[in-house]
Structure 1
Amino acid sequence: MTFKKLSIVIPAYNEGPTIHLILEKIDAVKVIQNLEKEIIVVDDCSSDNTVERLQAYSQSHAHQKIQLIQHNKNQGKGAALHTGIKHATGDIVVIQDADLEYDPQEYNILVKPILDNFADVVYGSRFIGGKPHRILFFWHSIGNKILTFLSNAMTNLNLTDMETCYKVFRREIIQSLDLKEKRFGFEPEVTSKVARIKGIRIYEVGISYFGRTFEEGKKIGWRDGFRAIYCILKYR
């Protein structure tokens, strides 16, 4: 199969300080095999200047084609991803957060297993490969490991980072899933449903991670951790 386009789906909620910066980083990436970049930003009814910053950026970077989709009410990250995935037309789909925690320069190592026809799905792991990562919260780290362990026990996978943002899919695979979770339950749900596909080839690659604090805009909390456990059990 010949791959021609990479769809980059960006859910955004109150990311005014960083939305233009992540788009600049994406613009600087030259994707291997000259894949065309399709950028889909789904604004989940932000209450700050996210949309205005995005529109101003688009006007000054006319060469960078950006599709903006706006929710008329806040629904959650998962719902924004559902919308973006539905509108994706690329051969490969990558999920990108609107903050600066994940580096778009790593798209090439993420998509390579698919381009080489080894993988159908690729997860970027923050815990393998010796990549740099910011040292932050001990209990968040433990929580991630517990959620990954529980997810693996239900799916019979051996992932090291189920909760990672960087998930890459062949488009026909991700669009074939009936996804329900509207918040951060997206991660365990999509993992469970992908794992059930007969003959699916899932790979992991090491990525760097530049985490942020709650003061810097991090949104996930302990309630989302309990919801993730519920989703792991629900979709097992």
Structure 2
Amino acid sequence: MKISVIVPCYNEEKYIIEVLKKINLQKNTFNIEIIVSDDKSTDNTLDILKNSSNLYDKLVIGEVNKGKGAAIKLALEKVTGDITLIQDADLEYSPEDYKKLLLPFFEKKADVVYGSRFSGSSEKRILYFHHRIANFLITLFSNLLTNLNFQDIETGYKVFKTDILKRLNLKEDSFGFEVEVTQKIAKLNLKIFEVGISYSGRTYLEGKKITTIDAFKAIYCIIKYRFTK
């Protein structure tokens, strides 16, 4: 089974090499292709990537900065694996969790797997309380509309059978991707799993990009995609 790892990135010059090295270590266990999707970075990320082509299989570059969703959609055009795994470039999520994320696919149990930051015994860095509350409310609202019992729909670790992901007709360009894809898979008769993962969240000084405004956008997207295609 071939795994396509999509790495959307924007201004990640501090972390991109380290995260790619960690993904490459997983090639000792899994058949992985790495697709980096640069969302028109304005720092040295792109130069670093071009000088480190041994660390990935494909590089795609957006024409303008649009957001995480746009970067994922661009990379999805190049995916050749049976399974597609989304890996943020900021080291908040550890590739050491790939075994847990992928096991349900190898056991032929799952169509989709989410990595939950709020379940299991894996270590978690303690950070902003208001982020935790916002995530809880967003997930609760989504669950009320979909009748699913997710713990963490805003997680960066989402894994899909590639054919399913490609037929979702994704539209969101920014962080709205997280809730759009959740609403769309909820409408299908899929086998969806959540597994506990480790999480080392960043502070804003360390480069965290998501804001309070994104939480309100998420609520809007939940309503939008619950009642539209």
Shorter-chain TM-score: which interval?
over 0.9
Please tell me whether residue 167 in structure 1 is matched to residue 167 in structure 2: no
Tell me which of 212, 215, 219 is aligned to 2:209: 219
Q: Distance in 1 between matches of 2:92 and 2:52?
A: 20
Deviation at 1:57, TM superposition (A): 2.1
Contact 1:41 1:84 in 2 (8 A): yes
Please tell me whether residue 16 in structure 1 is matched to residue 6 in structure 2: no
Tell me which of 107, 112, 133 is aligned to 1:142: 133
Contact 2:9 2:88 in 1 (8 A): yes
Deviation at 1:66, TM superposition (A): 2.3
**1:154 match: secondary structure:** helix
**1:203 match: secondary structure:** strand
Q: Distance in 2 between matches of 1:27 and 1:66?
A: 10
Tell me which of 21, 43, 52 is aligned to 1:48: 43
- Over the matched positions of the two proteins, sequence identity in percent amounts to 51
Q: Distance in 2 between matches of 1:187 and 1:19?
A: 21
Q: Distance in 2 between matches of 1:31 and 1:6?
A: 13
Correspondence for 1:229: 219
Correspondence for 1:6: 3
Contact 1:31 1:108 in 2 (8 A): no
Deviation at 1:86, TM superposition (A): 2.3
Please tell me whether residue 69 in structure 1 is matched to residue 76 in structure 2: no
TM-score (norm. length: structure 1)? 0.93
How many pairs align?
A: 226
* Consecutive unaligned residues in structure 2, runs of 5 or more: none
* Consecutive unaligned residues in structure 1, runs of 5 or more: none
Deviation at 1:185, TM superposition (A): 0.5
Q: Which amino acid aligns with 2:212?
A: W
**1:87 match: secondary structure:** coil
Q: Which amino acid aligns with 1:67?
A: K
Give the 5 Å matches for 1:30-49: 30=27, 32=29, 35-49=30-44
Correspondence for 2:198: 208
Q: Distance in 2 between matches of 1:207 and 1:86?
A: 28
Deviation at 1:115, TM superposition (A): 1.1
- The C-alpha deviation readout for 1:96-155, integer Å capped at 9, x for no partner, is 001110000111110110110111000000000011010000000000000000111111
Q: Which amino acid aligns with 2:77?
A: K
Which aligned segments of 4 or more residues in structure 1 are displaced greater than 2 angstroms? none
Give the 5 Å matches for 1:62-101: 62=54, 64-101=55-92
Please tell me whether residue 29 in structure 1 is matched to residue 19 in structure 2: no
Cα pair distance change 1:30/1:68, threshold 3 Å: closer
Q: Distance in 2 between matches of 1:30 and 1:57?
A: 17
